[in-house]
A and B are shown apart, each in its own frame.
Chain A
Amino acid sequence: MARKRNRLEIIYDILKVIAGKKMKPTHIMYKSNLSHTLMKEYIEELKQKELIKEELNKKGKTYSITIKGRNYLNEYHRILRFTESFGI
């Protein structure tokens, strides 16, 4: 049985899925393996923290990664090492 992901891992998975593309919420949900409720929750948080940005067009909402989001992806290993070292 797959181990339950923690918050940092879920954010990493979402950003990795979005990186370099403009994605619709449903695609994000399936590709990052999240429930609709959880996906909405995380998307809101990521928008608030400016890790992703929302765009509205005729076909609906899409999300793309920001510079902060890319930075998170690039520095993920550093975040992980820190949290593992100090048990946070």
Chain B
Amino acid sequence: MVLLSQLLNNLFVHTLFLEFIFFSITFLVSLYSFKIYKISFKREIKLFAISFLLISLSYLSLIILNTTTIFDVWNLLIVSNNKFIGNNIFSLIISSFFKYSQILLFSSGLLVLTYMTLGIENKKTLFLLFLLVILPLLVRESGISLLYFSSSIMLLFIIVYYINIYRITKQIRMLLILAAFVTLFLGTFNFVFAKSINFYFIAAHILTLVAYTLILISLLHAIPHGKKKKQA
């Protein structure tokens, strides 16, 4: 029992650590994108910034959710006869809220990014797409898995966009960002099957880590080094 609880505790702590990395990277990308948007006023950059902000908030929700889960695991330890005494209703409500907000924020972030790649400027279309994306959550019990599935579909659209960009520009750094989104797609798709802590859960986290590492490398490349040259 002690070994199992230690194992669970370690796994949650490692997952928490990974999710903190995901949150940090996506938040940094969002911050820098907003900074560039303030100078350039380019609409696509604003959408890019908003999408990464939503994705970073989804990881923040996941961090809060997993932190409360760790406390629930500790609760199990102090209860006698392996029975969980006194369901903490408040804890249940909080964890449900963060569980759903995590996937909603993640899907919304990907939706905004997909909308950016479509190259259209229509808020009604965006709203319609949003409704279509969240519909599974309202209708079905397995809505969360379906949301991960629809997130994977959106990632496919984003991958096609970057394939086209690479075909036009032939820039190697486009391959980097393309690889990031392909890996993120594989990671997100694994979450469809990760209903508990299993192989898919671990694979999803590892793939997501690779994806965000590639995105971080792209961000570091985007930040100029050395002295600024004043032109005007």
**Residue B129 CB within 8 A of the other chain:** no
> Beyond A19-B232, A74-B230, A77-B224, is A87–B174 a contact (Cβ under 8 Å)?
yes
Question: Least Cβ distance of B208 to chain A in Å?
Answer: 18
Q: Which of B173, B219, B232 has the most CB of A within 10 A?
A: B232
B32 near A65 with CB under 8 A, answer no
In the bound complex, what is the Cα–Cα distance between A86 and B28 (angstroms)? 14
A24 to B229, CA, bound (A): 28
Q: How many A-B contacts if CB must be within 8 Å?
A: 71
- A81 on the interface (CB 8 Å rule)? yes
C-beta contact mask, B24-50 vs A, less than 8 Å → 1, else 0? Answer: 000000001100100111101100100
Instruction: Bin the interface of chain B by size.
Output: 20 to 34
CB distance from B146 to the nearest CB of A (A): 29
- Which B residues lie within 8 Å of A8 (CB)? 40, 42
A41 at the interface (CB under 8 A from B): no
Q: Is the CB of A88 within 8 A of B218?
A: no
Question: Which B residues are CB-close (under 8 A) to A72?
Answer: 39-40
A47 within 8 A of B: no
Q: Is the CB of A88 within 8 A of B39?
A: no
What is the 8 Å Cβ interface bit string for chain B, positions 160-197, against chain A (1 contact, 0 not)? 01100110010101100100000000000000000000
In the complex, what residues of B have CB within 8 A of residue A86's CB? 48, 177, 218, 222
B224 pairs with A73, CB closer than 8 A: no
8 Å CB contact of A78 from B36, B42, B173: B36
As a 0/1 sequence over residues 9 to 20 of chain A, the CB contacts with chain B under 8 angstroms (1 = contact) are 000000110011
A7 (CB) vs chain B CBs: closest residue: B42
Q: A79 vs B222: C-alpha distance in the bound complex, in angstroms? A: 9
Tell me which of A16, A76, A79 has the highest count of chain B C-beta atoms within 10 A of its own C-beta: A79
Question: Which of A16, A71, A81, A88 is close to B42, meaning CB atoms less than 8 Å apart?
Answer: A88
User: What are 8 inter-chain pairs, A to B, with CB distance below 8 A?
Assistant: A8-B40, A71-B39, A78-B224, A83-B45, A85-B177, A85-B221, A86-B48, A86-B218
